[in-house]
Structure formats: structure tokens, C-alpha cells
Amino acid sequence: MDYEKLINCMRCGMCLPHCPTYKETFLETGSPRGRVALVRKFREEELSMSDQFLDYLSLCLDCQACASACPCGVNAGELVAEFKCEKKGAEGLSFMEELILRRLVPHPDKLESAIAPIRLYQRTGLQKMVRKLGLLKMFPDALERMEGLLPKLPARPLRQTLQEVTPAVGEEQGTVGFFLGCVMSLVFSEASLATVKLLSSLGYKVITPRKQKCCGAPNVLGSDRDGLLEAARFNTDLFSGYDLDYIVTDCGGCGAELKKYGNHLQGDDKAAAFSGKVRDISQLLFERAEHLKMKLNPVNIRVTYHDPCHIAHCQGIRREPRELLKMIPGIDYREMSEADACCGSAGTYNIGKPEMSDKILKRKIANVRDTGAEYLVTSNPGCLLQLKKALEGGDKTVKVIHLTELLLTSMNMALPQPPGTPCL
Amino acid sequence: MNSNTFIKELSALVGSEHTLTDRESLACYKYDSTPEMEGMPDAVVLPGSTEEISRVLNLCNNAGVAVTPRGSGTNLSGGSIAFSGGVVLQTSRMNRILEIDEENLTATVETGVITSALHREVEARGLFYPPDPGSMNISTMGGNVAENSGGLRGLKYGVTADYVMGLKTILSDGQLLATGGKTVKNVAGYNLNDLLVSSEGTLGIFSEIMVKLIPKPQTKKTMLAHFPELEQAALTVSKIIAARIIPATLEFLDKVTIKCVEEYAHVGLPLDVEAVLLIEVDGHPAVVDEEAAAIRQICERHRCSYFQTAATPEEALKLATARRVALSALARLKPTTILEDATVPRNCVAPMVKLIQETARKYNLTIGTFGHAGDGNLHPTCLTDERDKDEIARAHQAFEEIFDATIAMGGTITGEHGVGMAKKKYLPKLVGEAGIKAMRIIKGGFDPKGLLNPGKVI
């Protein structure tokens, strides 16, 4: 790691009020400034890599809210991730990590087969029985949490059903390559289908290369840099084979990673060109706002928006999704406080650090409820999983949906409805 | 008392989860926001109530252990660093706003309340707490009172001291001292409130603070002016005040800062101007319009090359961008940023800026100056690299000359950052032998064992 990056931190503390774990702990070791200090002091050989040291670093969500707030351009979240990668690089992957990050995640077919039993588990009524009998209590907490997070899976992953080329409706405006995220395909296929329909109805020919692989973000979470580089090379080569104006994704995590391919593969012009074309769906839709606006019909609901970290902090996109929502006639848009604070999902953080994740989620839920919104819109699968579990169901239910689902609903909505009628 | 017993007793008082002694934690409490300064504490405690602060201080006093108070650790003069070890007492857990009294116009808060959290709470009720230090999004009210923090609105609205009405302070032996109250007039005995404000944690530790609130100004107008000549910009500042207009904000950027801001944020600042003024007037709409028009005339009379008044809040935000990003733009240039707060009488702003620029040239340093032109509080910011020992030495020499000049101009060595450790050696030059003697007597009376934030100020 470049020592310069560590000493650039001038310890001003501007990151502290934006760090979800500092807000919960008030501890310097739980803050971005503290994490930079820890890594720096390790490099200066003042501290060693003790269990306590690693434990403090592992509290970082890598939400990068600190990077948005830093006056000197230090990215504490990324520094911690980089530090872990270097450590892992020296130690090598464990058997389980090797299995998941190298043999499962990069192979969509295997990933889909691995998920299939869950679908069966849900559809046969086994899930209901297991939950009723409390059988999950017999397993480790992590498994119970994972089981609880999963919403009902679609009948088939979108990757298997979506045709490679979706033609443009009307006059063609350009060709878009659609990067279909793994979790979007496996779990939120309806949202990604909405994305494709929106793009096509705005005049884009949408190409979804069937052979695409995971973007590599899980490898970053697992501190597996080689796996990440392999994913970056594969996807760059694959997409470079098509003549594309843009590469679009509706997954915040994928978007943030794809935009970094150029940096990851230094000196590879193709990767830089690839990253240059990547757009979050909200960016492209906002560019075509005038056209989209004409197609929208009233939806009379109260809506708030949660900024996924990978969209607001990693990609700097805040205005576009809000403007798109406000464009929908009849929408009562309500901004929540701390909208760009992490929801506690953070990759696998909610499973690995359940206690802290729950505290952070609780704060988010309170902020959502304060707005009185009936719908929470966001655009990242991790946030969708986490927030759906926390907000849907019960008498105070708040529906959690992807931005493109709401926009498509508005587009398909034929008649204006009486105010106050939930309509989705 | 041996150290194990002491730590055990300490954690019995505040809870073991709020008592830190591990190597990693202590290493992270060696610093605050002051460059080049570190000091390792032996323990860190985070008390949750007035009673807990009191018990901790009593224990430390009996054991002869030093206590360094700390809010969010954004001090710029080394004031929250435990240079001689002992206990760092962090107040962040005490973050409740206890009362907003809309009839007496006061707010009572615990010491760890974040300044901007108080702003939000009172502004939602149409009230206003003006002090707005640059770190207000994370600085604590206790820290603001201990340092007597200023901010952008100092010219019109004054500084923290002007708003403190009452304090609950824990003295070195753990006794609670309550001073002031809700009455505007109060002449009973010595004015201990004022003595405790800006005492930098050397006389006691605040647990509760009562501040004065005022009605929130109805409206405001933001203006930006470019000046090809530094003297004309400075003259504009004096003439605005001479025209009986007190802007809420009257901020200044010098040429080095302008260049950095433009390179970093591309806000459209011309590189051939010597100074930029950001001016904001607030109050009754009719008065605000009148004042804005008069300010425009004054700026034009002093050969501003560009003048703009924001028509919308978004435009106002855009005009303020250059000032807002000034520190970021400068800080990105080099790893180490030495941010000073030399302060001179308002009519000395131009000669002071000139002197800073000449000193920078003389010592071959990059120093950008921005700050609160309206109240003479400037922030000469030296961009350097702590690894370059030679340059660091030159920077210190340059600042020594700059401080000497501030004192000669009738100014002060620190306008809002405090003396702490960083300015300690300059203080005798400013306050003289009698000043130091008086301060020592006060310190000795409040803290006979010298355990509260030892080594700071005097």
C-alpha cells in the first residue's frame, strides 16, 4: 500500500459524523480516522497485527461515507479493504474461500445450481414448516440470518430467460450492454426485467451477453485480488466484443466495481474504455428524462429514497434517482434524514457482524418511518434484501422496491388513481 | 495506587465497555487534529453522566493521575492530547439536548452534543444558535465552550462566549460547580462563566451547558466579488463596515487559495485576481435588499472585476462553493496541512495578507490564506510534508514571524483554535509577565495538583 495515502489523512475528523460505526460506538477505533491511524501505525511498526487490531478493522462496513466527507481525498474504507487484500495475498485463501470465490461465484451456472435447492425449499412449503418448527434454531446464527434474509426467489434466474438481444421500441437511440448482476438475476429478476423494458422503450437496443460473469465485488469482500482481476479481464474482453454506446447496470455494487476496472487493470486500454462506458441505470434514464417523463402516469404514493453506499459514495450519484422519482406525477416524495447512511447490509457484514449491523439498520428504519412513506425506493440488491426483511410485513409495512420497478409501474399505469390508494 | 487497581476502579465507575486500555485503542487516542503532535494516554474513559465525570475526576485526583478532556478530537492546538499520559476523558456519550426553552430563549445541552445537532434542533423551531466553527458537524458543545470557538458568523453574531449563559463544571476534585443561569442580567459574584469559557479544559470539565438563542433571521442574501487588487478588497471590507452594514459573513480567499480552489473544483474563478470576497447579509427582507445593493456599490467603487448576487438558494450555495472547499483544495496539495488562525484588527487584513505572502516567499513555502476578513481572523495554511524536516523547520520559522507581526499589529496569536500546546510558547509574548502570573494563580486555585489537562496553555 502506498504510504502517501496513509499520511494524507490530516486527522481533521470530518469523516466521523458520517461513519455509521462511529455514530454507534463513539470510539476512535470505530472511526475512519482511527482505521487510517491503525494501518499507518502498523506500517510504522508501532502496532502489530493482533487479533484486537484485526477485529477493529473488521468493524468497517466499507460503505465509503468517509470518502465522500474527506476534504483531502482519503478513502479510509478502500484503504482498509486494500490492507486486508494485501494480508490475504500473503496468506492465501482458505479452503472455503477458494471454493466460494474461485469455484462458485465466477461461474453463473454453478451459482444458479447452488441456489436451486433454496427455491425448492421455498416452493415445496418446506420453508414454512422449518420456520414453524423453529428448526433453524438448531443451526448456527449465521445460517438462520441468511435464511431469514432471502425473499421468495423467482421461478428462474433472469439470466436464463432474458434473450441476449432486446430490440429498441421506436427509433433506435443507441445500443446498451446490460450488465446483469448475480443477485439481481437470482433474486430480483423482476427489477432487472423492468430495467431492460425501460431501456428498450426509451429506444435502446439492449444486449445482455449471456456469458457474463460476476463483476468481482464478492472477491473484494473476500480480499481476493487475483479473483477480482480475473473477473475484470473476462468481462472487459466479453463486452469489448460488442459495439456498445453504454454499459448499464441496475446494481449499485456492480456499477461501482465495473467503473474501477480501468484502475484495476492499469495500462489496459480496453478496461479503461469499458469503465468509461459504465452507467448506473439512473444516470442513463436521467439523461433521457424528457422522453421518459412523457411516458409516466400518476402513481399516488408517499415515497422515500435510500442511497446505496455503492451508488452515493462510490459513484457519487445522488441527484439522478431523486429527480427521476420526483418526475412521476402524483408522487409525494419525502427525503429521509441520513438517507446516504449505510443500511448495515454491506455485502456480508449483516451476517459477519450481526450486532453492529442490527444497530445501524435500526437507525435506518427509524429514519424511514419518520418520513411516513409507504414505499422505500433503492437500487442495490444488498440494500433491498436487508430493508425488505426489516420493513415489509406487519401492520406498519413499508414496501421496498427497486427504482426501475416503480418507474415501469408508472409507465404501465393506465389510469390515475384516487389519492392514498396503494397501487403496486 | 498501582495501575491495575486504578484501572479496575475506573472501569467500575463507568463500566468496562467504556474504559479502554488496549494498545490499539490507546494508539488511536494519541492524536487530535493538530499536525505533528502525539501523546499516549494510559487509559480512555467515556463517562455517561455528570455523576460519572465527577467520580472519575475524584478518583484521578486522589490517585494523582492527569486527566485530558476530549470531545470529538478536532482540536487544532494539541489541546486534547495527553502529553503526560494519564486518562483521556471523552464526552461523546453525553449527547442529549436537555431542554429548549422557547420563553427564555435558552437551550441546555449535555457537553457531548454535536454543535450542528443543536443548530438543527433550534432552527426547526425558528430559533438560532449562531456560532458555526468549521468543524461544527462533529465538534462538541463542551469543546466549543472550552476553546471559545468562532466561525463564519463571528463578525455579526460573535463567538461561543457571547452565548454561554450557564455551565455545570466538574472541578478537579470531582465537585460540581454550577454557574450562571437563565437570567439575562446576573452580577452575583465573579463572572465565573466567562472565566471558564476558553479555559481549554485546564480549570474543570463541563458536563452541561446552557446557551442563549436568538430568533432565526428571516432571510439572507449571498454575494461574490472578485478583486484584481488585494488592497481594494481589504478596503471594501472596511468600507462596508463604515457604511454601518454588518454582514453575517464576510469571507476572503487569497491568490494561492483561489488557484488551488480553481484547480480542484473548477468553479470558474479567474486566476488573475488577487482576492475573492464572499459576503452574506441576513435579517428582515427589506433591510437585506437595501444592504445588498449598498454592498454592490461599495464593491464596484473599489474596482471589483466581477460581482454576483445569488437569486436562489441553489445559486447561493454555488457562490459559497469556493469558500466552502478552500481547505479541501489546499489540503489535497500536500500530505501535511498546518492550519493557523492569526488574527488582526480588521483594518490590518491587507498588510497581514501581504506579510504572509512575503514570508512564504522568503522561506520558500506554499501558504494559502483564507478566512474571516470581517473580523480579521485569517487562516494562513501551510502546505508541507512532515517527512521533509527542513521544510517543516522553515514553516515553523515563518509562523513565528507571522505571529510576531500579528502581535505588533495589535492582533492575537489565536482567534479561535486555542493555545493548547501548539501556541504555548507564543502566549507570554502576547499577554506579558503579569498575564501569565494571573493565569497561573487562577490555575493553581482551581487545580492545585495540576492534574487537569496538564501542560496546556501556560
Render pLDDT for B383-439 as a digit per residue (tens, 0 to 9). 999 999 999 999 999 999 999 999 999 999 999 999 999 999 999 999 999 999 999
8 Å CB contact of B31 and A34 = no
Band of residue A417 on the pLDDT scale cut at 50, 70, 90: very low
**Cβ–Cβ pairs < 8 A, chains A and B:** 82
Band of residue A423 on the pLDDT scale cut at 50, 70, 90: very low
Of B90, B119, B153, the position where a domain reaches its end is: B90
8 Å CB contact of A73 and B92 = no
Total of domains in chain A: 4
Of B90, B123, B142, the position where a domain reaches its end is: B90
Of A285, A310, A343, the position where a domain reaches its end is: A285
pLDDT in tens, A2-43: 898 999 999 999 999 999 999 999 999 999 999 999 999 999
**Domain range enclosing B17:** 3-90
Percentage of chain A beyond pLDDT 90 is 74
- Is residue B368 one of the residues assigned to a domain? yes
> Which residues from B are below 8 Å from A46, CB to CB?
27
Backbone angles phi, psi at A36, to 5 degrees: -65, -40
The yes-or-no verdict on residue B57 having pLDDT over 60 is: yes
Q: Does A199 touch chain B (CB under 8 A)?
A: no
**Domain range enclosing A24:** 3-91
Q: What's the gap in Å between the CA of B267 and the closest CA on chain A? A: 17
Q: Are residues B189 and B150 in the same domain?
A: yes
Q: Which three cell numbers stand for residue A99?
A: 471454493
Lowest-pLDDT range of A145-159, B133-147, B441-455: A145-159
8 Å CB contact of B74 and A13 = yes
The yes-or-no verdict on residue A420 having pLDDT over 70 is: no
CATH number of the structural domain spanning residue A256: 3.40.50
> Which residues from B are below 8 Å from A53, CB to CB?
24
* Rounded CA separation B111/B91 (Å): 7
The yes-or-no verdict on residue A148 having pLDDT over 50 is: yes
A381 touches A188 (CB < 8 A): yes
8 Å CB contact of A10 and B138 = no
Q: Are residues B237 and B314 in the same domain?
A: yes
The yes-or-no verdict on residue A414 having pLDDT over 70 is: no
Q: What is the model's pLDDT at position A416?
A: 41
- Is residue B80 one of the residues assigned to a domain? yes
The yes-or-no verdict on residue B317 having pLDDT over 90 is: no
Most B CBs within 10 A among A3, A7, A10, hence the mutation to make, goes to A10
ipTM over 0.90: yes
Q: Is the dihedral of CA A65, A66, A69, A70 positive or negative?
A: negative
The yes-or-no verdict on residue A140 having pLDDT over 90 is: no
- Residues 25-84 in B contacting A (C-alpha not used; CB under 8 Å): 25, 27-29, 31-35, 46, 72-74
Q: Which of B24, B72, B331 sits opposite A29 (nearest CB)?
A: B24
pLDDT in tens, A276-333: 999 999 999 999 999 999 999 999 999 999 999 999 999 999 999 999 999 999 999 9
Of B215, B250, B274, the position where a domain reaches its end is: B215
State mean pLDDT over B43-49. Answer: 98
Q: Are residues B179 and B162 in the same domain?
A: yes
Q: Does B93 touch chain A (CB under 8 A)?
A: yes
- Is residue B457 one of the residues assigned to a domain? no
CB atoms within 10 A of CB A366: 12
Q: Are residues A30 and A86 in the same domain?
A: yes
Q: What is the model's pLDDT at position A415?
A: 43
- The helix (H) or strand (E) run that includes residue B98 is strand B97-101
* Rounded CA separation A305/A402 (Å): 10
State mean pLDDT over B24-32. Answer: 98
> Which residues from B are below 8 Å from A41, CB to CB?
27
Most B CBs within 10 A among A12, A19, A44, hence the mutation to make, goes to A12
Sequence length of chain B is 458
Q: What is the model's pLDDT at position A145?
A: 76
Q: Does A338 touch chain B (CB under 8 A)?
A: no
Lowest-pLDDT range of A122-136, A147-161, B210-224: A122-136
Total of domains in chain B: 4
State mean pLDDT over B285-303. Answer: 97
In this prediction the pTM is 0.92
